[in-house]
């Protein structure tokens, strides 16, 4: 028997409730679209009769068969009852189009509850309410009530689009359709009373018609499941997400640095990177990215050959490829001398055969054809961007045909950048139809290279992960010091816990009540700090004295501290020699749960906000990629003779992640700041921890 | 008498050399376009006869009048002779279409010389060669040989486009024309043997048909003139530039930090900002930016109200507005409670009247009309972005009309974001025709806000400049120490020069031959460095010892230095207390000449490359804007209680600029690095200077 999702996305028959003769009504346009389709159609209306020559049934029981799918094109208040009838009749899936549910307040929320009750204990699944429904061009299944005069329907293709909002992706689909972009499916999630994004990702992961999945979400129904399903799917099928609402996702309470640097969107970015899910910021970028991933050949490197028939075109492409300020990690390929010689032989005399290659507007189609052939053989070229200029009469259908040939048959990925009106649009449609990747701006074409390169990098990472222990546990022996969640921990207590996990901290002694012992078993220079589980900003309240050179100064300092903070315990610690300062933290994110942060420390770093996040637990490759995320990552690669041990930082991140994992659910925020990274080790100089409110003391 | 540029851009009559019956030839398509126009047309061909019913003249002398303009649609080798004849006959301007000149090597360069000679001593001016020529829709003057089937011609509008390359802007013009974008003029510069960008900017500055000027340039004919003309024009008429070829502009020799951080493109960016010239990176962005500046009402602030008929649309706009990572300095407006109340009254019950305002797809056109009216009254709203969704039948021509009304008549600037196929495109064309600013993506609409806000900021800066001394001279008394260009200067000598200009440096004494005097007239702690005019990397070669606490250590250090560098002069200096480290430098840029750099110092800053450039001389507002350019500018605004004197840095920048101005032409690079900025002053701790090679010693 078909599953509910199968009934929704691959139905043999569909019934529509609320069919109508009245133009402009949902029950009218949906019928028209479905009558055009290849799925058996039944119209239902209590009045019966016929519509467009089809028998109209009075209710679900009159239908000659149990349809796989029902579309309810009725007002919100009627939907629960009809859904109940569908469930009773054993229909696999129901689409509730109407708005006026959870999004409008209490009355609507009640209706949503009724919808859920209507299918409880049955096989029936609900898509929506408040949804455009589904569009499967392959089956000509189209439940979208918007007129195709206003919203063009994409043709059949190999990308699936899942969207929580109609308006969030409609514009891109509409103009995409105009350019001939195809889709395997569009599914509008609406209010998600039942079917959600995670099930759909799993469905499309197995769908042979789908090569890549694009999503627009304003929230996750279940972030844990989303993480699980993405982790499973993304190595096999590319995923792209617009996570909208990032500006309104309030930042975390800023008690600690980790909190102030988090902001839910930074964590989201880190987690998506960890999962190999691509990020887009609007509908246009979503469609671009998912198409790039679905269409282009995999990239082996980032060396771009630019080929065009106009100098300016090539220069703009070259500028974007090389300009590091635009965030593109690519470079212009250095062509082999033999490539240049061969190009010169086929080109007009004043063509430029250096990359960016400019064959000039005078170039014939055969010259371009030859150039594309020649570039296939250059081992220094990873990808070709073709800057299409369709503005001379030389660029005809045969020219397009040859481009399509090389796009399909060539060994190297080909990305076409084409900008222009009707003639260009005609060429774009031909290339789309041939499955050639074509983007309507230079910038979007260059971004495509970056997307493909990132995908290659992710797959490489996934493959190498198979040879790496997944998540190490840093606790090998029974811990001496077991933190009790909820009990405030002083700095030395946190450090004791960290040391048990193999994390370095400076040697220290505790001075209870601020009393100096007869002997100080620590080498100078030293540091004196007040010791409290409640004081987080020691420095600001003058509770820290650094660089104490000798016993005399130490005694003076301790005396001053005792005056300033009478009876307060003090901590005396060896002053850590200077090195590269970093910050590592843990934070309970509102969406993704416990997450780990790594960033460059110090005051400048705070200004540049050079930090990155991942979800706990992380593995070694996650830790490695965190370091590579940092703009100042060169600090760990011998920049200006600095010796900061990269492996020590990775080791530390894994241990902190493991610590977080063990105490998951209890930690709200933890700051290890600063951590000083030396040639041989990373030492945690200060540590703060805040338990989650509500955690039992 | 008309000037040559007038004859080119506002001719009464035009002659074409090389008219042809043969389809596909330049001399054929140009004739067709000109016959359609409103400028008197004369065809010339030695064969005579008629073409399309027009008499064809055999040569320039047979013409019944001296035309203002001649278009030479003949092969390169014939162009000089024909140009000579035109000059003799007194024709004001000649367009040479053919390629095959300077761009193809020696033979072509000779031909260019001949072209120049042909007009020497005459009133005749040349546009090109190797150019598309001009397109003035207002006059239906169109010398572009490309077929309009392949390259749509924009209609009449108020933006002028000047382009060095045809292909660099063609695509954007083509698709712009498709959407109904209008231009006052397009001028292809080609090889610029005569007419150049600077004259054209001046022409369009005075052209009443032009509201903003867009340019695509790969190089400047004369950077100094470009600077002069832009400085004059940009306060009155907005200028936008794609400066292409930025990736190939090799970086400067990296002897000093300033050089390694410059790269010609960073200097270009700083200079354009100084001149108030907007920067774009491709043809699409060029056309967007120049349209935004030509069409939209000026912005008074950056608070955006987003209005749409779909939740997703509003969320995407809000995310872009608020997300600081995308480089947009704007914010969502907080609507007045009375605004929200009024909106709620006119909207459907479940609309969201909080910003971003979502009137839902169910909203009628009257609801949108009312909402636009209501928003005009909210003093907290500076600009409205309308997220257009044309996908329901409710969005008809009347709806578009009301949008056009508010776009034209409303008090607040209105920017429409519209993405979609035919129906949307139809609406876009109507709005374009009505002069409403409409952009075909959410991101491009939000960027428009940033452009407008920057323009407002620039105008404000220009106005306040009227109350500020233009360029102060820091030398008030006769200098004691006059540097001789070409003579290497040691650190203490540069510092002596700086001190004469009122720049602070630490107290120091010179130890000739490394000999310690009997008494050290400096307070500890001290620094010892080797003193040489040739050694730039003292630290790397262990020629610097910091933080010397007392006389004993000093003696030991000097002794060690003497061993390490026998007979070398040493410098003993007071150790400057720590503070905010910055770097200031001078560099002779290949394009713009002497430029000044300001950046955050220290090793992290080097990694983050937080630097900015301006052309020397700078005024106080330039200096101020340099500080605001820095990502870490908060350091000078009391960030975390840091007291770094902003005014002292501005004063220092002005003095360094004045120093550079006095020695312009002689300096190659100068580094003042580090400079330590305290609460009361900025102190130059190290200084290096490299004279330009070829400067006489």
- What ipTM was assigned to the predicted interfaces of this complex? 0.92
pLDDT value at residue B697: 43
Q: How many CA atoms lie within 13 A of A421 on its CB side?
A: 20
Q: What angle do CA B232, B236, B240 make, to 5 degrees?
A: 80
Is A242 touching B (CB cutoff 8 A)? yes
With a cut of 90, say whether residue A222 has pLDDT above it.
yes
- Whole-number average pLDDT of chain A: 91
Q: Which of A104, A172, A421 sits opposite B175 (nearest CB)?
A: A421
Q: How many Å lie between the alpha carbon of B610 and the closest alpha carbon of chain A? A: 9
Within 194-223 of A, beta carbons closer than 8 Å to B belong to: 216, 218
Substitution target in B109, B146, B150, B326 with the highest count of A β-carbons within 10 Å is: B150
Chain A CA closest to residue B168? A312
What does A461-497 look like in DSSP terms, one character per residue? Answer: HHHHHTTS-SS-----S--SS---TTS---HHHHHHH
Q: Which of A245, A424, A600 sits opposite B174 (nearest CB)?
A: A424
Judging contacts by C-beta atoms under 8 Å, the chain B residues touching residue A635 are: 607
Taking CB atoms and an 8 Å limit, are A420 and B242 in contact across chains?
Answer: no
| B644-682 per-position pLDDT tens digit | 999 999 999 999 999 999 999 999 999 999 999 999 999
Taking CB atoms and an 8 Å limit, are A361 and B242 in contact across chains?
Answer: no
| Nearest partner of B685 among B677, B694, B676, B693, judged by Cα | B676
pLDDT value at residue B140: 95
Chain A CA closest to residue B169? A312
Is B310 touching A (CB cutoff 8 A)? yes
Is B348 touching A (CB cutoff 8 A)? no
* Range of lowest pLDDT (A219-223, B72-76, B397-401): B397-401
Taking CB atoms and an 8 Å limit, are B147 and A172 in contact across chains?
Answer: no
Taking CB atoms and an 8 Å limit, are B150 and A423 in contact across chains?
Answer: yes
When comparing pLDDT for B532 and A110, which is higher? A110
Q: What angle do CA B218, B221, B222 make, to 5 degrees?
A: 125
Is B396 touching A (CB cutoff 8 A)? no
Judging contacts by C-beta atoms under 8 Å, the chain A residues touching residue B441 are: 282, 284
Cβ B669 vs Cβ B517: under 8 Å: no
pLDDT value at residue B480: 63
Substitution target in A282, A386, A439 with the highest count of B β-carbons within 10 Å is: A282
Is A24 touching B (CB cutoff 8 A)? yes
Cβ A564 vs Cβ A193: under 8 Å: no
| B419-431 per-position pLDDT tens digit | 999 999 999 999 9
Chain A CA closest to residue B153? A421
pLDDT confidence bin for A328, thresholds 50/70/90: confident
pLDDT value at residue A251: 44
pLDDT value at residue A343: 97
Taking CB atoms and an 8 Å limit, are B442 and A310 in contact across chains?
Answer: no
Q: Identify the DSSP state of A29.
A: H
* Range of lowest pLDDT (A87-91, A297-301, A627-631, B184-188): A297-301
Q: How many CB atoms lie within 10 A of CB A382?
A: 22
| Nearest partner of A197 among A172, A222, A173, judged by Cα | A222
Q: How many CB atoms lie within 10 A of CB A349?
A: 10
Q: Which strand (E) or helix (H) includes residue A335?
A: none
Taking CB atoms and an 8 Å limit, are B283 and A610 in contact across chains?
Answer: no
When comparing pLDDT for B266 and B537, which is higher? B266
Taking CB atoms and an 8 Å limit, are A174 and B420 in contact across chains?
Answer: yes
Is A98 touching B (CB cutoff 8 A)? no
- Residue B603, exposed/middle/buried by CB under 10 A (0-12, 13-18, 19+)? middle
Helix A283-295 to helix A442-465 angle (10° resolution) is 60
Is A35 touching B (CB cutoff 8 A)? no
pLDDT confidence bin for B261, thresholds 50/70/90: low
With a cut of 50, say whether residue B251 has pLDDT above it.
no
Q: Is the dihedral of CA A162, A167, A170, A172 positive or negative?
A: negative
Q: How many Å lie between the alpha carbon of B315 and the closest alpha carbon of chain A? A: 6
Q: How many Å lie between the alpha carbon of B471 and the closest alpha carbon of chain A? A: 32
Chain B CA closest to residue A603? B640
| B476-509 per-position pLDDT tens digit | 666 666 678 878 899 999 999 999 999 999 999 9
Taking CB atoms and an 8 Å limit, are A326 and B281 in contact across chains?
Answer: yes
| Nearest partner of A38 among A126, A118, A142, A190, judged by Cα | A142
| Nearest partner of A160 among A209, A119, A126, judged by Cα | A209
What is the C-alpha to C-alpha distance for residues A286 and A284, in angstroms, rounded to an integer? 5
CA dist A691 → A254, A533, A584 (Å): 14, 11, 17
- Inter-chain contacts counted by CB atoms under 8 A, chains A and B: 277
Residue with structure tokens 């039944």? A42
What is the C-alpha to C-alpha distance for residues A662 and A616, in angstroms, rounded to an integer? 10
Q: Is the dihedral of CA B7, B8, B13, B17 positive or negative?
A: positive
What does A622-661 look like in DSSP terms, one character per residue? Answer: HHHHHHHHSTTGGGGTTGGG----HHHHHHHHHHHHHHHH
When comparing pLDDT for A626 and B609, which is higher? A626
Output the pTM of the full model.
0.94
Taking CB atoms and an 8 Å limit, are B164 and A312 in contact across chains?
Answer: yes
| B3-52 per-position pLDDT tens digit | 999 999 999 999 999 999 888 788 898 999 999 888 999 999 999 999 98
With a cut of 60, say whether residue B468 has pLDDT above it.
no
| A341-359 per-position pLDDT tens digit | 999 999 998 889 999 999 9
Q: How many Å lie between the alpha carbon of A539 and the closest alpha carbon of chain B? A: 12
Is B175 touching A (CB cutoff 8 A)? yes
- Whole-number average pLDDT of chain B: 91
What does B285-325 look like in DSSP terms, one character per residue? Answer: HHHHHHHHHHHSPPPS--EEEEEESSHHHHHHHHHHHH-GG
Judging contacts by C-beta atoms under 8 Å, the chain B residues touching residue A281 are: 316, 319-320, 323, 326, 443
What does B107-138 look like in DSSP terms, one character per residue? Answer: HHHHHHHHHHHHHTTSS-EEE-SS---EEEGG
pLDDT confidence bin for A540, thresholds 50/70/90: confident
Backbone angles phi, psi at B433, to 5 degrees: -65, -30
Q: Quick one: three-class SS letters along A658-675?
A: HHHHHCCCCEEEEEEEEE
Taking CB atoms and an 8 Å limit, are B631 and A442 in contact across chains?
Answer: no
Q: Quick one: three-class SS letters along B537-599?
A: CCCCCCCEEEEECCHHHHHHHHHHHHHHCCCCCEEEEECCCCCEEEEEEEEEECCCEEEEEEE
| A250-284 per-position pLDDT tens digit | 444 445 666 666 666 889 999 999 999 999 999 99
Residue with structure tokens 């929580």? A164
Strands A54-57 and A50-51: antiparallel
pLDDT value at residue A258: 66
- Residue A602, exposed/middle/buried by CB under 10 A (0-12, 13-18, 19+)? middle
Q: How many Å lie between the alpha carbon of A372 and the closest alpha carbon of chain B? A: 20
Backbone angles phi, psi at A361, to 5 degrees: -60, -20
Judging contacts by C-beta atoms under 8 Å, the chain B residues touching residue A308 are: 167
Taking CB atoms and an 8 Å limit, are B310 and A389 in contact across chains?
Answer: no
Q: Which of A167, A285, A441 sits opposite B284 (nearest CB)?
A: A441
What does A143-178 look like in DSSP terms, one character per residue? Answer: ---S-TTTSPPPEEEEEEEEES-SHHHHHHHHHHHH
Q: Is the dihedral of CA A365, A410, A299, A238 positive or negative?
A: positive
Chain A CA closest to residue B166? A312
List strand residue ranges (DSSP E) for B621-666, in order: none
Cβ A171 vs Cβ B361: under 8 Å: no
| A379-410 per-position pLDDT tens digit | 999 999 999 887 877 778 888 999 999 999 99
What is the C-alpha to C-alpha distance for residues B693 and B697, in angstroms, rounded to an integer? 10
Taking CB atoms and an 8 Å limit, are B244 and A316 in contact across chains?
Answer: yes
What is the C-alpha to C-alpha distance for residues B566 and B18, in angstroms, rounded to an integer? 79
Contacts of residues B497-500 at CB distance under 8 Å and 24 or more positions apart, as own/partner, are B497/B659, B498/B655, B498/B659, B498/B672, B498/B684, B498/B687, B500/B475
Taking CB atoms and an 8 Å limit, are A316 and B605 in contact across chains?
Answer: no
Cβ A417 vs Cβ A448: under 8 Å: no
Q: Hey, what are B29's tokens?
A: 């398509």
- Quick one: CA torsion of A119, A120, A121, A126, rounded to 10 degrees? 40
Is B480 touching A (CB cutoff 8 A)? no
Taking CB atoms and an 8 Å limit, are B150 and A104 in contact across chains?
Answer: no
Is B6 touching A (CB cutoff 8 A)? no
Taking CB atoms and an 8 Å limit, are A171 and B419 in contact across chains?
Answer: yes
Taking CB atoms and an 8 Å limit, are A424 and B390 in contact across chains?
Answer: no
Residue B417 pairs in a beta bridge with B387, B439
Determine the average pLDDT of the residues in B83-91: 97
Residue A54 pairs in a beta bridge with A51
What is the C-alpha to C-alpha distance for residues A315 and B247, in angstroms, rounded to an integer? 9
């Amino acid at each position: 028997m078909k599953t509910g999702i199968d009934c929704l996305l691959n139905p043999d028959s569909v019934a529509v409730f609320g069919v109508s003769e009245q133009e402009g009504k949902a029950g009218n346009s949906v019928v028209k679209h479905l009558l055009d389709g290849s799925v058996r159609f039944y119209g239902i209306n209590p009045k019966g009769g016929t519509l467009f020559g089809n028998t109209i049934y009075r209710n679900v029981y009159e239908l000659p068969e149990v349809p796989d799918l029902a579309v309810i094109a009725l007002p919100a208040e009627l939907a629960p009852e009809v859904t109940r009838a569908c469930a009773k009749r054993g229909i696999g899936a129901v689409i509730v189009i109407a708005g006026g549910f959870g999004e409008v307040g209490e009355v609507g929320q009640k209706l949503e509850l009724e919808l859920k009750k209507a299918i409880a204990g049955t096989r029936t699944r609900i898509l929506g309410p408040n949804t455009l429904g589904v569009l499967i061009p392959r089956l000509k299944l189209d439940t979208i009530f918007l007129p195709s005069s206003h919203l063009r329907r994409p043709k059949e293709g190999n990308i699936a689009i899942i969207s929580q909002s109609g308006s969030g992706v409609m514009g891109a689909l509409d103009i995409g359709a105009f350019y001939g972009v195809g889709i395997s499916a569009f599914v509008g999630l609406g209010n998600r009373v039942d079917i959600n994004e995670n099930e759909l990702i799993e469905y499309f992961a197995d769908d042979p018609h789908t090569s890549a999945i694009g999503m627009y979400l304003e929230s996750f129904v279940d972030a844990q499941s989303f993480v699980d399903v993405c982790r499973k799917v993304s190595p096999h099928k590319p995923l792209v997400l617009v996570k909208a609402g990032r500006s309104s996702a309030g930042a975390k309470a800023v008690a600690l640095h980790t909190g102030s640097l988090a902001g839910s969107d930074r964590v989201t970015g880190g987690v998506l990177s960890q999962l190999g899910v691509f990020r887009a910021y609007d509908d246009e970028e979503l469609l671009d990215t998912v198409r790039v991933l679905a269409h282009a050949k995999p990239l082996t490197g980032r060396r771009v050959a630019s080929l065009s028939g106009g100098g300016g075109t090539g220069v703009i492409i070259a500028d974007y490829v090389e300009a590091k300020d635009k965030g593109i990690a690519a470079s212009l390929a250095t062509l082999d001398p033999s490539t240049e010689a061969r190009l010169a032989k086929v080109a007009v005399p004043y063509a430029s055969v250096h990359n960016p290659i400019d064959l000039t507007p005078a170039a014939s189609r055969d010259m371009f054809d030859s150039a594309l052939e020649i570039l296939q053989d250059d081992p220094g070229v990873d990808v070709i961007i073709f800057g299409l200029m369709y503005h001379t009469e030389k660029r005809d259908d045969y020219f397009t045909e040859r481009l399509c040939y090389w796009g399909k048959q060539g060994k190297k990925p080909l990305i076409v950048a084409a900008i222009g009106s009707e003639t260009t649009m005609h060429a774009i449609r031909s290339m789309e139809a041939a499955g050639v990747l074509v983007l309507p701006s230079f910038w979007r074409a260059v971004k495509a290279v970056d997307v493909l390169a990132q995908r290659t990098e992710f797959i490489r990472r996934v493959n190498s992960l198979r040879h790496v222990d997944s998540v190490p546990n840093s606790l090998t022996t029974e811990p001496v010091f077991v933190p009790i969640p909820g009990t405030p921990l002083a700095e030395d207590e946190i450090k004791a816990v960290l040391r048990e996990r193999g994390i370095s901290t400076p040697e220290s002694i505790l001075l209870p009540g601020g009393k100096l012992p007869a002997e100080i078993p620590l080498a100078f220079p030293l540091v004196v700090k007040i010791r409290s589980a409640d004081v987080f900003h020691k420095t600001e309240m003058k509770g820290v004295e650094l660089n104490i050179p000798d016993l005399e100064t130490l005694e003076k300092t301790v005396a001053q501290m005792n005056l300033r903070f009478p009876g307060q315990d003090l901590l005396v610690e060896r002053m850590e020699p200077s090195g590269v300062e970093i910050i590592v933290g843990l934070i309970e994110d509102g969406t993704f749960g416990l997450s780990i942060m790594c960033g460059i420390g110090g005051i400048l770093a705070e200004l540049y906000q050079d930090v990155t996040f991942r979800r706990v637990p992380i593995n070694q490759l996650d830790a490695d990629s965190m370091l590579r995320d940092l703009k100042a990552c060169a600090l760990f690669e011998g920049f200006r003779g600095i010796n900061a041990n990269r492996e020590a930082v990775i080791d530390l991140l894994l241990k902190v992640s493991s610590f977080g994992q063990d105490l998951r659910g209890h930690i709200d925020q933890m700051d290890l700041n600063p951590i000083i990274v030396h040639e041989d080790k990373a030492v945690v100089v200060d540590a703060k921890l805040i338990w989650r409110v509500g955690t039992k003391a």
